[in-house]
Amino acid sequence: MLLVIANTGIRVTLSVPNDQLLGIGQSNATATNWVSRNILAHVPATNITSIAVGSEVLPTLPNAASILVSAITFIHSALVASGLDSQIKVSTPHSCSIILDSFPPYHAFLQPLVGPVMVPLLKFLQSTGSFLMLNVYPYNNYMQSDKYILCTYSDL
C-alpha cells in the first residue's frame, strides 16, 4: 500500500501492531529495526507524518501498559537518529473508555489506573510536539446514552 501511494503527497499514519509492542518496548534495537523496515524504506516517496504505537493498549492490554511509553520513546529515538523526528510525530491511540464521566466535558477525568502511564506519556507528547490520539466512536456513544452526545472539536 505504501508503494501505491508513494509520490502522491497523501499524508500517512503507520501503526505499530499491538503484537509487536512488547518487543519494541523492551529493545531500542528492535524499535530501530522497525523504523528502518517500515519508515526509512518508504521515506521520502511516501509522506509518512505520524506513527501510532499500538492501539487502545491501556484497556485491551493492561500488562503492556508499563512498556507503552518506552516503546514510543524508542520509536522516537530511532526517528531522531534518522533525522525524521521533526517530520514524523509519534503517539498512541487510546480508547475513550479511559475517560470517565465525560459529560459535561469540564467534569471529565481519567480512569485512576491509567494515571501512571498517562502522566509520562503526556510529558513525552508535550516535549516532542506530538498529539494525543483518541479513537472516538460517536455512534456507540449515542446508542449507549439517552440519545444525545456532545461532540466537540478543537484544533489546538
32-67 tens-digit pLDDT: 999 999 999 999 999 999 999 999 988 777 777 889
Residue 30: in which H helix or E strand, if any? helix 28-35
Does the pLDDT value for residue 147 go beyond 70? no
Q: What's the mean per-residue pLDDT of the chain? A: 85
Residue 52 CA neighbour count, 13 Å, CB half: 16
Instruction: Mark out the alpha helices in 83-137 (DSSP H runs).
Output: 115-128
Average pLDDT over residues 126-149: 74
What confidence score (pLDDT) does residue 154 get?
42
pTM reported for the whole predicted model: 0.83
CB 96 within 8 A of CB 140: no
How far from 102 is each of 14, 98, 106, CA to CA, in Å?
A: 29, 10, 8
What confidence score (pLDDT) does residue 49 get?
96
Does the pLDDT value for residue 155 go beyond 50? no
Does the pLDDT value for residue 149 go beyond 70? no
For domain 11-144, which architecture applies?
Alpha-Beta Barrel (3.20)
CB 52 within 8 A of CB 94: no
Span 68-105, pLDDT tens digits: 999 999 999 999 999 999 999 999 998 877 777 766 67
Is 110 buried (19+), middle (13-18) or exposed (0-12) by CB count in 10 A?
Answer: middle
CB 100 within 8 A of CB 108: yes
Q: How many CB atoms lie within 10 A of CB 134?
A: 13
What confidence score (pLDDT) does residue 156 get?
38
